[in-house]
Structure 1
Amino acid sequence: MRKWVKEHGLLLANAGLFLAFFVGMILSGAAAYSEDQTTHGQPGVTVLEYLSTGDFVEATFENWESEFLQMAMYVILTVFLFQKGSSESKPMGKTAPQDQDPRDATIKDSTPWPVKRGGLVLKLYEHSLSILLLLLFLASFSLHAAGGAAAYSEEQQSHGQPTVTMLQYLATSRFWFESFQNWQSEFLSVAVLVGASVYLREKGSPESKPVAEPNYETGT
């Protein structure tokens, strides 16, 4: 068990932090939503009731949407683009291991089965990481729109205005403001990481070059 935990420590730590912060978001979100309801003469909600509100769905998936977009675009852009001196870039002027054609690989027992199978299965497997991230982005984008439409309609009703459908909500400036304010921050953080890793180091981290390596060296 101890060995398994050590082998999966990075995933477990991030999953644990996600759950802790997600619970914190739910509890504080339910409290904030209930306060807003009370202010407008409406009854507050329990935590479980809050989970079914458009407010919760919108708040959750507008953030997930930006994270998956960021990671999908980062994975795709690093296939084609380089940053001299950055640990986040593939080496320049030489072939990286990631560029090797799996069809030329020596088949072993440990070789992933899509590589052994070949054909369309291998073609999909070659791009499976970006496909997964893009699908998660599209799902989150849709749920953001659905939750946002429900929350917006609730506000509209409280002011005696007509409700909106999900498609109508997609045409509002509010939806795109929510999306763009998250998207811009995600790409800012990536740009800072890519640029800072040229000159700065973190000993022991695979996201950093070795501390004594020159700034112009590209890749890990």
Structure 2
Amino acid sequence: MEVVMLRRLRDHALTISMFGAFLVFLALQSVFGWHARNEELTDLGAAPVAWPAYLRSGHFAEAVFENWESEFLQMGGYVLLTAYLVQRGSAESKPVGQTDRPEDDERRATPDSPWPVRVSGLPLVVYRNSLSIALLLIFAGSFLGHLLGGTATYNEEQALLAGAPPIGVREFLGTSEFWYQSMQNWQSEFLAVGMLIVLSVFLRQHASPESKPVTAAHSHTGD
């Protein structure tokens, strides 16, 4: 039993590490965000809120989904763009001149291939694009979460500062504040990916699948 458990931990160590770090940092964000929000409320002359109430607040939702939105936009866009565009010498690019990989041809399906590949038709069309579809759907959901959380926070602050009536989601969507929040995250995500694409032409990380082999020429394209 212990051997099986250790094998499973080894086989899924990267996922466990990523989601473990996510949960730790999300919990820390909620704690520090709670303290920061209570400081803001105190400065506005309002009563502080308890941590469970903060977790249900627009302030927390806005902060979380604002970041998820940019991450999944970047990832979904990256998956789509790398299907059609190349960067010579980059580990993040498919080889120059390559269109589809032989393994992408459904006629090479085996009994172990996923079922949409074996049945073909519409399931295959969806499955061939399922990774980008999933990422962009998560982006859309995060965008909506950011919009709803941001609207709630905006209305709360406007009521405390000026006693202004609340605005609707559509009105907040048209504010500079909402798009400022989005653009400051979107630009940084695409900058980071662009830097990874370019740096992987010249730099290496031993044993990482995100890097070309240490001995590969700078002109070598792909992993």
| 2:140 corresponds to | 138
The 8 Å contact of residues 90 and 96 in structure 1, kept in 2 or not, is answered as: no
| 1:215 corresponds to | 218
Distance apart, 1:93 and its partner CA: 2.9
Quick one: percent identity of the two aligned structures?
47
| 1:197 corresponds to | 200
Distance apart, 1:218 and its partner CA: 0.2
The answer to whether the aligner puts 1:181 opposite 2:218 as a matched pair is: no
Q: Whole-Å Cα distance in 1 between the matches of residues 120 and 105 of structure 2?
A: 9
Distance apart, 1:162 and its partner CA: 2.1
- The correspondence for 1:58, drawn from 58, 62, 67, is 62
The size of the alignment, in residue pairs, is 218
Give the gaps of 5 or more residues in structure 1. none
Alignment TM-score, normalising by the size of structure 1: 0.96
| Bigger mean CA offset, 185-194 vs 44-53 | 44-53
Q: Whole-Å Cα distance in 1 between the matches of residues 153 and 123 of structure 2?
A: 41
Secondary structure at 1:181 match in 2: helix
Distance apart, 1:103 and its partner CA: 2.1
Amino acid at match of 1:148: G
Deviations 1:174-204 (A, max 9, x none): 0000000000000000000000000000000
| Bigger mean CA offset, 31-40 vs 198-207 | 31-40
Amino acid at match of 2:156: E
Q: Whole-Å Cα distance in 2 between the matches of residues 101 and 193 of structure 1?
A: 26
| 1:69 corresponds to | 73
The 8 Å contact of residues 93 and 221 in structure 2, kept in 1 or not, is answered as: yes
Deviations 1:75-112 (A, max 9, x none): 00000000000000001134563x6443211422x111
Secondary structure at 1:57 match in 2: helix
Give the gaps of 5 or more residues in structure 2. none
| 1:149 corresponds to | 151
Q: Whole-Å Cα distance in 2 between the matches of residues 112 and 183 of structure 1?
A: 34
Q: Whole-Å Cα distance in 2 between the matches of residues 145 and 162 of structure 1?
A: 18
Q: What is the RMSD of the two structures over their aligned residues, measured on CA atoms?
A: 1.2
The 8 Å contact of residues 102 and 115 in structure 1, kept in 2 or not, is answered as: no
The 8 Å contact of residues 200 and 211 in structure 2, kept in 1 or not, is answered as: yes
Q: Whole-Å Cα distance in 2 between the matches of residues 102 and 119 of structure 1?
A: 13
Amino acid at match of 1:31: H
Q: Whole-Å Cα distance in 2 between the matches of residues 57 and 106 of structure 1?
A: 43
Question: Residues 128, 94 of structure 1: CA spacing in aligned structure 2 closer, same or farther, 3 A cutoff?
Answer: closer
The 8 Å contact of residues 41 and 48 in structure 2, kept in 1 or not, is answered as: yes
Q: Whole-Å Cα distance in 1 between the matches of residues 31 and 189 of structure 2?
A: 25
Q: Whole-Å Cα distance in 1 between the matches of residues 116 and 107 of structure 2?
A: 14
Q: Whole-Å Cα distance in 1 between the matches of residues 70 and 125 of structure 2?
A: 27
Amino acid at match of 1:191: G
Q: Whole-Å Cα distance in 2 between the matches of residues 217 and 141 of structure 1?
A: 38
Secondary structure at 2:61 match in 1: helix
1:41-120 to 2 correspondences below 5 Å: 41-94=45-98, 97=101, 100-108=103-111, 110-120=112-122
